[in-house]
């Protein structure tokens, strides 16, 4: 009887196999993998995040828009139905498709994705050389103010970003220091904000733009560049934004 019972238990475990969920301390099931994703060149409803050699992030809505240097590690969000955001991310390798035309996709945690970005940024910083004629030990130059803060008191800028995107937070801080009201929309946590950003980019013919994306009174700015932000603010204040 004992031998038969042990054999039955072994068969039961073999049927169950490796589990995609584990249990938290409270006993609740916690997913450790997302559902399988078949990713092809013509897969619709995507928001892709690729990473350049500096560790800066860029977004695209089509696989063909991801450049060669960024195809090794691409975060994938399916926008309809929504998949791949929250605590677990899809990450794809777009360098080589399989025999069936699909690309390998695996699940990583948000922390693992952020750690990969930090590692790339640190590697780039370690090899980055100062510009000729500059003092590498000199403090960073401050950006000149835009003038009277009251002149921008009525301007609100929407910053579309993500928690793991350092330039997104730098852009928001830059605007706040200049007295500009900022609405920060996290495209990871807010699917409506992500759809809103994609719609604005497509309407402006700026598909494949990186984050942050700044909406400065109707003027869209890709990435974070203080001079570009200043020009957009001046344009918005002059009432020339479309």
Give the domain CATH number at 226: 3.40.30.10
Angle, nearest 10°, between helix axes 166-177 and 226-237?
A: 50
Q: Is residue 159 part of a domain?
A: yes
pLDDT in tens, 4-17: 443 443 433 333 33
Q: Please check whether residues 45 and 115 belong to one and the same domain.
A: yes
Q: Please check whether residues 117 and 157 belong to one and the same domain.
A: no
Q: Is residue 26 part of a domain?
A: no
136/70: higher pLDDT: 70
Q: Is residue 23 part of a domain?
A: no
What distance in Å separates the CA atoms of residue 219 and residue 212, rounded to the nearest whole number? 13
> pLDDT value at position 153?
57
Token couple for 168? 């997104």
Q: Is residue 89 part of a domain?
A: yes
Q: Is residue 205 part of a domain?
A: yes
Match 């590690």 to its residue by tokens.
73
- Of 224, 210, 145, which is closest to residue 180 (Cα–Cα)? 145
Q: What's the domain range around 69?
A: 31-121
> pLDDT value at position 152?
57
What distance in Å separates the CA atoms of residue 50 and residue 66, rounded to the nearest whole number? 7
pLDDT (mean) for 31-54 = 87
5 in helix, strand or coil? helix
Q: Is residue 5 part of a domain?
A: no
109 in helix, strand or coil? strand
- 8-state DSSP, 39: B
Domain count, the chain: 2
What distance in Å separates the CA atoms of residue 80 and residue 208, rounded to the nearest whole number? 19
Q: Is residue 20 part of a domain?
A: no
pLDDT (mean) for 200-221 = 82
Q: Supply the pTM of this predicted model.
A: 0.55
């Amino acid at each position: 009887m004992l031998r038969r019972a042990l054999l039955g238990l072994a068969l039961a475990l073999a049927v169950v196999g490796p589990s995609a969920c584990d249990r938290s301390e409270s006993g609740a099931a916690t997913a450790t993998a997302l559902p399988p994703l078949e990713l092809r060149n013509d897969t619709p409803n995507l928001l892709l995040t690729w990473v350049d050699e500096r560790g800066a992030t860029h977004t695209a809505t089509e696989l063909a828009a991801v450049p060669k240097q960024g195809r090794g590690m691409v975060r994938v969000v399916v926008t309809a139905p929504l998949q791949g955001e929250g605590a677990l991310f899809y990450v794809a390798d777009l360098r080589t498709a399989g025999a069936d035309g699909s690309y390998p996709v695996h699940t990583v945690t948000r922390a693992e994705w952020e750690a990969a970005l930090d590692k790339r940024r640190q590697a780039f910083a370690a090899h980055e050389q100062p510009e000729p004629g500059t003092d590498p030990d000199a403090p960073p130059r401050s950006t000149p103010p835009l003038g009277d803060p009251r002149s921008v008191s009525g301007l609100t800028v929407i910053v579309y970003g993500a928690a793991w995107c350092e330039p997104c937070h730098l852009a928001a801080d830059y605007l706040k220091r200049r007295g500009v009201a900022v609405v920060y929309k996290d495209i990871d946590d807010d699917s409506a904000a992500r759809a809103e950003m994609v719609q604005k980019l497509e309407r402006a013919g700026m598909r494949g733009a990186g984050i942050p994306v700044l909406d400065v009174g109707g003027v869209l700015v890709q990435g974070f560049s203080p001079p570009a932000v200043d020009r957009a603010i001046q344009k918005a204040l002059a009432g020339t934004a479309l």
